[in-house]
Amino acid sequence: MSLSRNDRKETRKVRYTRMIIRDSLIELMQTKPIVSITVKEICELADISRSTFYFHYKDQYDLLKQIEEETLSFFAEFQKKSMNSHSIKEVAKNLEEIMVHFSNEANSMLALISENGDIKFQRKLFQLLTKHNTLPKYFSEKAPDDEAREYYSIFLLYGINGVFQHWVKSKKPFPISKLTKMILKWIE
């Protein structure tokens, strides 16, 4: 079944409206936490009516939750794919994929993992990435035992996260491939 021209146009319009609403929340989160952001502010920045906002979301927390769920979904899929990476080449490819995602979603990723983001989301993200030793086996096998492996995983995740944050905030002065090689060299 194909959509009529009007249905396609409406779908495009809905996607565009959701994008503007999302971008407006993310922009506001660059300067203040979600608890200080109102639906009115989001609507003013997005140049939409409150009824348009409420057609798509219950409130600003519902909007943030949907953005967070999309991000967690990406990382859950990535986790499944990269769990059995054994070679440095596979690890480099996976790391580059994450960096491309960070680059494409720079503003939302920064907002989500910044001090203005929801700490519960940040915990969920790091639990997801450390759960079941999801770091590539290439790195986790360097730890002598399970307890050390957990600490090593946390060390790597927080370190790489810090590098990503700095990279995105500095407007990405290094090409992705160069930064990937630097990270891999540091943690080998």
Answer left, alpha or beta for residue 175, where phi above 0 means left and psi between -120 and 50 means alpha.
beta
CB atoms within 10 A of CB 144: 9
- Give me the pLDDT at residue 160, please: 78
The CA distance from 65 to 167, in Å, is 25
Higher pLDDT, 117 or 85: 117
178 band by pLDDT with thresholds 50, 70 and 90: confident
Q: Which residues contact 24 (CB under 8 A, 6 or more apart)?
A: 42, 43, 45, 46
The CA distance from 140 to 172, in Å, is 28
pLDDT in tens, 89-146: 777 787 788 788 877 887 888 888 888 888 888 888 877 776 644 455 555 666 677 7
Query: For the chain, what are the domain ranges?
Result: 5-187
Would you state the CATH architecture of domain 5-187?
Orthogonal Bundle (1.10)
Higher pLDDT, 186 or 132: 186
Greatest distance between any 2 Cα atoms in the chain: 61
pLDDT > 70? residue 68:
yes
